[in-house]
């Protein structure tokens, strides 16, 4: 099956084409020209790699360099207030309680509708809530002057609860004012 290459070449008809007389000289000249020409120089981008590395290192250095800058918002707050103890700074649990009540109070306030008919009722409740807020601030001052004690903490939490109860009572009265029941209509 397999044939020897020598046999194949013997059986082949000789190439009848003749090479030109100066073929060998032209081939040698092309070969010499190709070998002796200076190779084309590729542009070196090594300087670009070095520059990119330097930029990367400088940016990382800037990013992770320790600084002693303080948040500008904190700088606007007086130092006496920044160092005060509040209900939230005593423990994480008390911070959760304080955040719950404050967020609920703010939510309830945002749900209230002020109209010309309920303005007097609204103003009365807001005056009471304002008084409780002043009392809360004074209790916080007491917490800072006398130190942390259970009575002050309980008073602070009670103040928040009372403000929330007042808001819910006001919301209920505003709802009754908006939709009077049959009993109220009959008494009028």
Domain locations in the chain as residue ranges: 85-181
Give the chain's mean pLDDT. Answer: 76
Least confident of 25-34, 83-92, 122-131: 83-92
Separation of alpha carbons 118 and 108, rounded Å: 16
Give dist(CA 70, CA 61) in Å, integer: 20
pLDDT in tens, 142-168: 888 888 888 888 888 898 888 888 888
Q: Supply the pLDDT for residue 71.
A: 46
pLDDT > 60? residue 72: no
- The pTM score is 0.50
Question: 3-class DSSP state for residue 55?
Answer: helix
Cα–Cα distance between 167 and 128 in angstroms, integer? 10
Instruction: Write the pLDDT tens digit of every residue in 33-47.
Output: 887 776 666 677 788
């Amino acid at each position: 099956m397999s044939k020897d290459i020598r046999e194949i070449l013997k059986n082949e008809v000789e190439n009848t084409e003749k090479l030109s007389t100066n073929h060998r000289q032209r081939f040698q000249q092309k070969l010499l020209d190709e070998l002796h020409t200076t190779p084309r120089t590729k542009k070196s981008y090594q300087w670009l790699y070095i520059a990119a590395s330097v930029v990367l290192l400088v940016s990382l250095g800037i990013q992770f360099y320790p600084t002693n800058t303080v948040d500008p918002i904190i700088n606007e707050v007086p130092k006496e207030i920044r160092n005060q103890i509040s209900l939230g700074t005593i423990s994480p649990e008390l911070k959760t309680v304080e955040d719950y009540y404050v967020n609920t109070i703010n939510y309830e306030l945002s749900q209230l509708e002020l109209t010309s008919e309920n303005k007097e009722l609204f103003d009365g409740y807001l005056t009471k809530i304002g008084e409780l807020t002043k009392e809360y601030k004074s209790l916080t001052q007491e917490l800072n002057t006398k130190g942390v004690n259970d009575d002050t903490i309980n008073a602070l939490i009670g103040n928040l609860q009372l403000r929330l109860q007042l808001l819910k009572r006001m919301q209920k009265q505003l709802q009754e004012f908006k939709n009077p029941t049959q009993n109220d209509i009959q008494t009028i």
